[in-house]
Structure 1
Amino acid sequence: MIPKQMQSLHLSVEKVQASRRQFILGVLAAGGGAAFGYHILAASPAAAETADKAKEALAFTPYLTIDGNGKVTVLSSQFEMGQGSYNGIATLVAEELDADWSTIEVLGAAGNVAAYGNIAFGGKFQGTGGSTSMFTSWERYRKAGAAARATLVAAAASEWGVQSSEIAVENGVVSHPSGKSGGFGAFAAKAASMPIPADVTLKQPSDWKLIGNEKLKRFDSARKSNGTEQYTIDVKLPGMLTAVMIHPPLFGATLKSFDATAAKAIKGVVDVVETPRGVAVVAEHMWAAISGRDAVSVEWDESTAEKRSTLELMSLYKDIAGKAPAAIARKDGDADAGFASAAKVLEATFEFPYLSHAAMEPLNAVARKNDDGTLEIWGGHQFPDVYQMLAGQIAGITPDKVQLHVMKTGGSFGRRAVFDGDVVVEAVHVAKAIGYKAPVKVQWTREDDIRGGRYRPSYVHRMKAGIDGEGKLIAWSDHVVGQSIMGKTMFDGMIKNGVDPTSVEGANNLPYAIPNQTVGLTTTEVGVPVLWWRSVGSTHTAFAAEAFLDEIAEAAGQDPVEYRLSMLEPQSRHAVVLKMAAEKAEWAKPLAAGRFRGVSVAESFGTVVAQIAEVSVNSSGGIKVERVVAAVDCGLAVNPDQVRAQVEGGVGFGLGAILAEEITLSKGMVDQGNFDVYTPLRIDAMPVVEVHILPSANPPSGIGEPGVPPIGPAVANAVYKALGKRIYVMPFAKSLSA
C-alpha cells in the first residue's frame, strides 16, 4: 500500500510543471540564450498515455541551454553521486550538438516529471537508481542535442541568407563555405526565437566522435581532483546555522522528553528543538552543535522499539529457512522429484549481515524559507519529486514553491533514495521549528550515518542441489529469508504474490539450464529500517548462487568455468563474457605457486559481468586478493573510461563488504559507529583490476552497480582453492576466524 503522504505525489507534481517551464524559458529569453528540448511525447512512454494534457501543459522541455558566450549547460534529470552520470549525459548532448567539450557544464534539474521522469521507472517520477541513467537518457538527450544543433543552424542560415544544408557545425563553431562562421553564442539569441524541430535525425555510429571515445576524459575531473567541486557539505549561506540531530538509540523508539538547559549554556548554541525524527541542536557552527548535543539529556519511549540482537534475528532466519517458503518466486519442473532421483544431493546455508552504505559524504541538507514564501533546499536529491512534495507539506506550501538545488554528492549507493525524505525532511522541520529565522544545514556525523538505519537487509539463503550420475545439475532450490525493501513504500504495488522482486532478483532469473528449480521467499517483519544498497538483491543472491555452483562443480568433478558454460547457451551474453574473462585471465594456464583463482558471473540491471579473482595466502594464513579480471557486457559503452572506473570501484566496494563489513545489533542497538569498527576496504587491500568491455551495438544498460555482485563469490571460490574452506557466513573475517 502506498503511504498516505505519497498518494498525492503525482497530483502535486502536475502543479509544478508549468511554472518550472516558465521559469527556465523566461530567464533564458531575458539573458539572450536558448533552451532546447524535444517533444515530450518522445521522452516518456508514461506521457503518451496523457497526450492531450502533455501537449497543453508542456510542448517542449529544456534539457540544455546555450548562453551568449557559447557555454553549453546540460540540465540533467539524473543525480550525480560519483558514478559519472553527468559526464555520460553531457557526452550524449555534445555528440549530437557538435559542441566544444571544454564549454560543457552540467547542472542537476528537478521539478518537472514530464521532462525528467525516469523512463526505466515508467516515466512517472524522477529518480536516479538501478543503474538506469544512460538507459533513460540515451534517446532524449541525444535528441535534445540534435534539436539544438538544427536550431542553431537554422538561425545562422537565416542570418547569412543561405541554405541550412550548406552549413557545417564542428567543435562549437557554425560555418559556411563562403567563409562565414561563428560560435554557438553568436546565434543563441536568434535561435531562442525560432521554432524547435520536434523530429530530428540522429548521427550514425560511424560519425560519432565522443560516444565510445576511449580517450575522452570526464569534464569535471580537474575540480574533483583539486577540491573545488561543491557538495552540500560545502554550502554556506549568509547567516546559516548548523544543526545536528539526536536520533533514538533504538529503531522505533520515540521522544518522551528532553532537557536542553546545559546545552543552551554552551557558546554558539542557538536553540534545541523537537522534531518528528528526534531532537535537533542548532548552533552557529558544527563544533558548537556537537558540543551542545553531548549536553542534552533525552528520555525515550522504547515500548515499540526493535530490541532483538542480530544473533537472535539470524537464528530466527535460519529456522525459517529450514521450513517451506511463504511465497514462490520461480518454479520450473518438479524440484522434489529431481532431488529424489539425484545421485547426489548437496545443501548449504548462506548468511548475510546488515550493511551500511557508508558514503564518504555523510547525509546533509540545507533549507531556507524566503520572504516571498518559497522554500529552497540544497541536497543530494535522488528522489526529487518526493522530497519536493514532502517539504511543501511540512512548510504548508504547494510543491511548485519548493525549489530544489540538486547538489553533487560524495556517494550514495542508494542511501539518498528514501521514501520519507530523511535528512531533507529533517532540515525543513528544523528550519520551521526555529521560525525560519535563518537558513539551516542539518549535517549528520559519521556515527549518525552508520547508526541511522536504512541498511542492506540481512538475509539467509537455504540452498539445495541435486546432480545425476554424470554430474549434471538436475534440481535446484533456494529459500531466501529477509526483510522487504519495497514493502509499505510507494513501490508496494510491485510486490506480487508475496514476492518483493528486490529480495530475489539474481536468484529467480538464473541463466543456467536447470530442468527442476524452485526459488522461494519468506519476508520477515523486523523493526530495522532497510533500503536498497549498491546492486540491491544481487549483493546476496549472486553470492549464494555462484559460490554454491562452484561446490556443485567440484562434486561433479568438473572445471568451474566449463561446468557453467555447459549450462549456458553458447552465444548468450553470460557465456560470451565468461569466456572472455577466462581468456583474459588465462584460466587454462597454471598459476604461480601460492596463487589461487575463483570465478563467477552475474547479471544485474541489464548488464552481465564475469570476474576471475586471484588470491594469495600469507605466512599467517591471511588472504589477499591480488588481481581481478572482469569482462563486461553493458551494451554500448558511452564512456569506456568511465565504465572501467565503475567496475573498478564496484570491485573495491563489493570486496570491502564481503571481507569485513557488517552491522550488528545488541539488544536492538547498533554496535558500530565509525570506520574503526565498520571497516570498508583499505587502500592496501585493493587488487589490480583489469576490465574488458564487450563491443556492442545495443543501447547502454547499467554500469554503476553491476561490478559489485560477482566479486564476492569469485573471491570465495578462490579462497576455497587456497584454504580448502567454503565461505557460508559473511563477512569473510567471521567465517575464516571460526
Structure 2
Amino acid sequence: MIENLVSRRNFLRGTALATAGLVLAVQLPGNTRRASAAVGEQSKFIPNAFVKIDTDGIALIMPHTEVGQGIYTSSAMLMAEELEVDLDQVRVEAAPPDLKKYMDPILFDQATGGSTSTQSDWVRLREAGASARIMLVGAAAERWGVSADDCRVEKGIIRHDPSSRSLSYLDVAPDAATREAPKQVPLKDPSQFRLIGTRAKRLDTPAKVDGSLVYGIDTRLPGMAYATLAIAPVKGGRIASMNEAAARAVKGVRDVVRTEDSVAVIGEHMWAAKLGVDALELSWESGPNASVSTQAIVNDMHEASLKPGVVVRDDKGAAEAIRKAKTKLDAIYRSPFLSHSPLEPMNCTLHIKDDRAELWVGTQVPVRAQKAVAEATGLPPEKVTVNNQLMGGAFGRRLDIDTIEQAAKLLRNIRYPVKLVWTREQDLTHDFFRPYYYDRVSAGLDDAGRLVGRTHRVTGSSVMARWAPPAFVNGIDPDSLDCAAETPYDETSVFADYVRHEPEGLTTAWWRGVGATHNLFVIESFVDEMAYAIGQDPVDFRRKMLTRNPRALAVLELAAEKAGWKDKLPQGRGRGVNLQFAFNTYLAHILEIEVVPGKEVKLLRSVLAVDCGIVINPDTVRAQMEGGVLFGLGTAMFNEVTFTDGAVDQSNFDNYRILRINEAPKVEVYQVKSLEKPGGVGEAGTAAAAGALANAIFSATGKRIRSLPLSEAAV
C-alpha cells in the first residue's frame, strides 16, 4: 500500500506490480475501444493517446511544442486536474509526428501556433485525464467488489474509505487496460477545480536554472560534426565561384557540401566550420531578383491598393453613409516587413543512414519536418525519426521547414551526425518575413459623433495561401483581415476587402500575431483619429461604441482606472489606448510615454487589462502579457526589414535592434475573472502594442504617425 507520492519519478515505485505499465488511449465520448496495455513498451500508443502510466510515473504525451509560452505546464495542469494527481507527479513527453493522433483541431495540422494550444487542449486533455481516472477507479472497485461511486482519488491513490483500502494507479494498471473506455466522460464544474486557476510553478524552470534543459542547438551526439553555411544573398541567386580547396585546408574542416544556392562547411567544431566558410572566397550570381528594393515593393503595393479587392464584409451602404457624414476621414497606413530573429538561431542535427534518418530539431510542425527529411533523402516518412527539442523562441519562424529541407539536401550524402547552425546573419537575412501591408481606411461620423460607416482595404501577401492552401478560399486570406473586418465596437455599416499582392524576391510567413498585429495598429490608430476629429476623449469615444459588448467594456474600464487615464500629465508626456478582441481574448492596453524632442521616445508605464476566459495559470497569463507587449513595443519602435539590390539590408542586432532592459516600461497586468472558454494569450500582448504606442505619441506631440516603425518619426 502506498500512502504518499514523493515525486513523479518515484511515483508508484515499490509496488508488487512494478513491472506493469498502462498506455491509455483516450477516445472521444461514445468510443468504446479498449486501452492498450504495454508492459515495458513506453512508445506504444493508439489514436488520441495523451496519458501514459508506467514504472516511471505519469506522462502527458504533449500534442503541442514548448516555445517559451508555458504550454507544457498549462496543458499538464489540464490533464492532472481530471486525473486527480499533483502537477509535480506529471512529466511531459513530446508527441511524435502523427497527424491522426495529435492534430490541432483548430489548425488542422500537428502544429503549435496562433495562440491555439490551450483553446485546442481545453477539452481533450481534461477528457484524457478523466477517462483514464474512470478506468483506473473502475478496475480498483471491481477488484474490491465495491461500487466505483464509493471510491475517491487523492494524488494518484485510489481509496475506499469504508474499508480503509487503497491502491495506486500502477497497482491496477493491468486490470484497467482490459476495460472499455467510458462512453461518457463527465468533467468537473469550474467550482471543483483544484489546480486550474492556481499559480503553478512551471515544470521546466528548474532545468532552465541549472542549465540542464536541452534546446535544439544544445544537441550533442557521439561522433557528431558541426556545420554552418553561406546562402545566396539574393533569393534565386546561385554560386558563381568558390575556393573549395581553401576551405578544406582549414584545420578541423572535414567536408564541403553544396547546392545551387548554398554551401555548407562541416568541421570538427563550429569554429572550424565558420573559418572554412570564410575561406571559400565566394562570388554569387544575383539572378532574377537583383533589382528588388523596398521602394519598388511599396510602389507596387500602392498601385495594387488602388484596385478593388475580394470583398470580405459588405454591410451595404458604408460608402454612401460616409459620403453623407458630417465628419469624414481617410488615411493610408503602412506596416513593414519584419524578421523573427529568435534568440536561438535556426539549427538542426541530422544523422542520415542508408535505410533511415534521425532528426533533432525544435519545430512547431513535426509532421512537416519529418516529411521534409523524407523527401530530401528518398526515405519513407516512417523511416525518419523526429526528436522534437525545446525552442529558444520562434514567433512563427519554426512553423516553416525551409531550413530543415536545406539541411537535408546538403547532408543527404553524409553518413555521420552533423549539427548545422545558421549564424545570426544568415538567420536574419534569409528569414521568411512578416508581410508588408498597405492599408486604405475611411470613416464617417454623424452630427452626434457616432460612427456611421467604415471601409478598410488591406493589400498584402497571403501567408495562408502558401502555408495552408485549403484555408485560402475565394481569394480571401482570413488572417490578413483578422481584427479588421470585425471589431469589438458597435458597427453596422462596414465594407472590407482584400487585395492579394505578392512581392518579388522574398517569402512571407507567420509572425507573432500576423494579421491581428498589423490590423490593430491600423484600426486602433484610426479610431483615435475619429475621436480627436470630433473633440472627444479616446476612451470615452470607445466606451460609447461598446453598448453590446460588456466584456470589452469591462477591460477598457479596468485599464483606464488602473492607468489613471483622466490624470493630467506633464508636457511632453502622453497616453495611448488600444482595445481589441483577438485570439478569443479581450484586452485593453494603456501606454504612457515621454517624447524627448530630437532624442528619444521613453516608454514609462504599460497597463494591460485582460479577459481570456477561464485562466489555467495566472502566472503564465501575466508572463505572456508582459513578454508580448515588450516584444511588440520594441518592434513598433525600431524594426523593419528593407531591401537593396535584392538583398536584405539588416544583418544582426546592431541594425535590427531589440528593446533593451533599460528602455522597458513598467508593465502591470490585471486579469478579469471569467467562466468563458479559454482564449489565447501568446500573441495578444504583441498585437496590443503598436496602436497604443502610436496613440500615445499623438497625445504627447500632436503628430499622427501612420507608418511603422515609430520612434524616429516621433522625435
Determine if the TM-score, normalized by the shorter chain, exceeds 0.5. Answer: yes
What's 2:471 paired with? 494
Secondary structure class of the residue paired with 1:708 = helix
Matches within 5 A, 1:651-670: 651-670=629-648
Preserved contact between residue 240 and residue 441 of structure 1 (Cα < 8 Å):
yes
What's 1:395 paired with? 377
Whole-angstrom distance in 2 between the partners of 1:112 and 1:295: 43
Preserved contact between residue 277 and residue 426 of structure 1 (Cα < 8 Å):
no
Task: Return the match for 2:310 from 318, 321, 327.
Answer: 327
Q: Deviations over 1:497-550 (max 9, x none)?
A: 332222221111123334443223222232211101001111111101111111
Whole-angstrom distance in 1 between the partners of 2:270 and 2:345: 14
Superposition deviation, residue 365 in structure 1: 1.1
> Does 1:126 find its partner at 2:110?
yes
What's 1:114 paired with? 100
The one-letter code sitting in structure 2 at the alignment partner of 1:652 is L
Preserved contact between residue 23 and residue 45 of structure 2 (Cα < 8 Å):
no
Matches within 5 A, 1:316-715: 316-321=300-305, 323-370=306-353, 373-418=355-400, 421-434=401-414, 437-487=415-465, 489-526=466-503, 527-591=505-569, 595-618=573-596, 622-715=600-693
The one-letter code sitting in structure 2 at the alignment partner of 1:99 is V
Superposition deviation, residue 361 in structure 1: 0.7
> Does 1:61 find its partner at 2:48?
yes
Secondary structure class of the residue paired with 1:504 = coil
The one-letter code sitting in structure 1 at the alignment partner of 2:272 is A
> Does 1:208 find its partner at 2:193?
yes
Secondary structure class of the residue paired with 1:201 = coil
Secondary structure class of the residue paired with 2:588 = strand
The one-letter code sitting in structure 1 at the alignment partner of 2:411 is A
- Structure 1 unmatched ranges of 5 or more: 1-28, 44-56
Preserved contact between residue 40 and residue 58 of structure 1 (Cα < 8 Å):
no
Superposition deviation, residue 265 in structure 1: 0.6
What's 2:84 paired with? 98
Whole-angstrom distance in 1 between the partners of 2:70 and 2:469: 30
Task: Return the match for 1:311 from 279, 295, 298.
Answer: 295
What's 1:8 paired with? none
Whole-angstrom distance in 1 between the partners of 2:303 and 2:491: 27
Computed over aligned residues only, the root mean square deviation of the Cα atoms, in angstroms, reads: 2.4
Whole-angstrom distance in 1 between the partners of 2:461 and 2:358: 35
CA 1:532–1:306 in structure 2 vs 1: closer, same or farther (change >3 Å)? farther
What's 2:67 paired with? 81
What's 1:54 paired with? none
- Structure 2 unmatched ranges of 5 or more: 1-16, 32-43
Whole-angstrom distance in 2 between the partners of 1:283 and 1:472: 67
Identify the range of structure 1 (694-703 vs 268-277) with the bigger mean alpha-carbon deviation.
268-277
Secondary structure class of the residue paired with 1:466 = strand
Whole-angstrom distance in 1 between the partners of 2:30 and 2:150: 28
Preserved contact between residue 40 and residue 115 of structure 1 (Cα < 8 Å):
no
CA 1:569–1:255 in structure 2 vs 1: closer, same or farther (change >3 Å)? farther
Whole-angstrom distance in 2 between the partners of 1:650 and 1:176: 48
CA 1:40–1:401 in structure 2 vs 1: closer, same or farther (change >3 Å)? farther
Aligned length: 685
Superposition deviation, residue 490 in structure 1: 4.7
Preserved contact between residue 40 and residue 59 of structure 1 (Cα < 8 Å):
no
CA 1:198–1:301 in structure 2 vs 1: closer, same or farther (change >3 Å)? farther
Identify the range of structure 1 (723-732 vs 509-518) with the bigger mean alpha-carbon deviation.
509-518
Whole-angstrom distance in 2 between the partners of 1:130 and 1:42: 30
Preserved contact between residue 333 and residue 515 of structure 1 (Cα < 8 Å):
no
Q: Deviations over 1:13-47 (max 9, x none)?
A: xxxxxxxxxxxxxxxx996321123125779xxxx
Whole-angstrom distance in 1 between the partners of 2:220 and 2:328: 63
What's 1:168 paired with? 152
Whole-angstrom distance in 2 between the partners of 1:594 and 1:173: 63
Whole-angstrom distance in 1 between the partners of 2:387 and 2:30: 27
What's 2:40 paired with? none
Whole-angstrom distance in 2 between the partners of 1:98 and 1:374: 41
Identify the range of structure 1 (706-715 vs 247-256) with the bigger mean alpha-carbon deviation.
247-256
What's 1:50 paired with? none
Whole-angstrom distance in 1 between the partners of 2:180 and 2:26: 11
What's 2:245 paired with? 261
Give the structure-2-normalised TM-score. 0.91
> Does 1:730 find its partner at 2:714?
no
What's 2:6 paired with? none
Identify the range of structure 1 (536-545 vs 476-485) with the bigger mean alpha-carbon deviation.
476-485
Preserved contact between residue 146 and residue 201 of structure 1 (Cα < 8 Å):
yes
What's 2:214 paired with? 230
Identify the range of structure 1 (662-671 vs 692-701) with the bigger mean alpha-carbon deviation.
692-701
Percent sequence identity is: 39
Superposition deviation, residue 256 in structure 1: 4.7
Superposition deviation, residue 425 in structure 1: 1.8
The one-letter code sitting in structure 2 at the alignment partner of 1:732 is L
Superposition deviation, residue 359 in structure 1: 0.9
